[in-house]
Amino acid sequence: MTSSPIELAPGISLGGSSLPIIAGPCSIESEETTLEVARFLAETAERLAVDVIFKASFDKANRSSLGSYRGPGIDEGLRILAAVGEETGLPLLTDVHGPEQCAPAAEVCDVLQVPAFLCRQTDLVLAASATGRAVNIKKGQFVAPEDMLRAVDKARSTGNDRVSVTERGTSFGYNNLVVDMRGFAIMQAGGVPVIYDVTHSLQLPGGGVQTGGVRQYAEPLARAAVAAGADGLYVEVHPDPDNALSDSTTQLDPPRAAKLMAELKALHAAMGDSAS
């Protein structure tokens, strides 16, 4: 199934022949750690000749526990993201949780992301889209693939056609997620590019102060998603995942992330060769 290509970030097309990768730490923990990951991704993007968009969140507002780490907040977070862009030249993506965050985030970032739990929040979707920036709407764990097209319609109603959707798994009973590979084709049938979120789909939500996860399945699920026709990938990367302040059970360390990116690029190219 072929989706309609969009410009996800300057010079980066989603839904075409390339396989862009959104990557970075779950949360901004410090300027030093954020820049460390960004430098690695910039070097990897150049070495592998892949399109990379750097992502990090200034606020993780959708935490299960009140005591979970959220981030530095919008002012400090956007300052650090701006520093990443200035030093590495990578396009930037961050989450927005309220309509009032959209305009300031759009001044710094190339892509605004609507979190999965907020994908039905009409005012947020409209405000993000009205900035003119590309908008990536993460599919709620509680939303059927075909119903995500309604969220896309909301975003496009502002005149912004730079809209994508990210598949991050569907709730399957308590504290578990599964990825229905049919969902890529279902959402693409609506003409929207679909990204696969490798690391968040590995979560075991709830069940404790911090969300658990099954990081060992990152590679097989990522390969399956590319084979199913995903237009891009979303991978969280941290220099020391086990000690990350959020998503410690699902983020990938830099060497593993680079190896996965190379494998997925080769798989995507092989699929293009076989199709031609």
Task: Catalogue all structural domains in the chain, each as residue range(s) with its CATH number.
Answer: 6-275 (3.20.20.70)
Closest CA relative to residue 8, chosen from 80, 109, 157? 109
How far apart CA 139 and CA 165 sit, in angstroms, is 6
Closest CA relative to residue 52, chosen from 3, 28, 18? 18
Report residue 136 as tokens: 């990536």
Question: Residue 208's pLDDT is what?
Answer: 59
How far apart CA 56 and CA 38 sit, in angstroms, is 10
How far apart CA 273 and CA 262 sit, in angstroms, is 17
Which stretches of the chain drop beneath a pLDDT of 70?
1-2, 63-67, 207-210, 274-276
* 114 in Cβ contact with 168 (< 8 Å): no
Eight-state DSSP code of residue 157: T
The alpha carbons of the chain give a radius of gyration, in whole angstroms, of 17
Helix and strand totals (H; E) in the chain:
8, 14
**Interior angle at CA 225, CA 68 and CA 256, nearest 5:** 60
CB atoms within 10 A of CB 207: 12
* Alpha carbon separation from 267 to 118, 229, 252, 273 (Å, rounded): 32, 11, 20, 10
Q: What is the mean pLDDT of the chain?
A: 94
* 6 in Cβ contact with 164 (< 8 Å): yes
Model confidence over 134-175: pLDDT tens digits?
Answer: 999 999 999 999 999 999 999 999 999 999 999 999 999 888
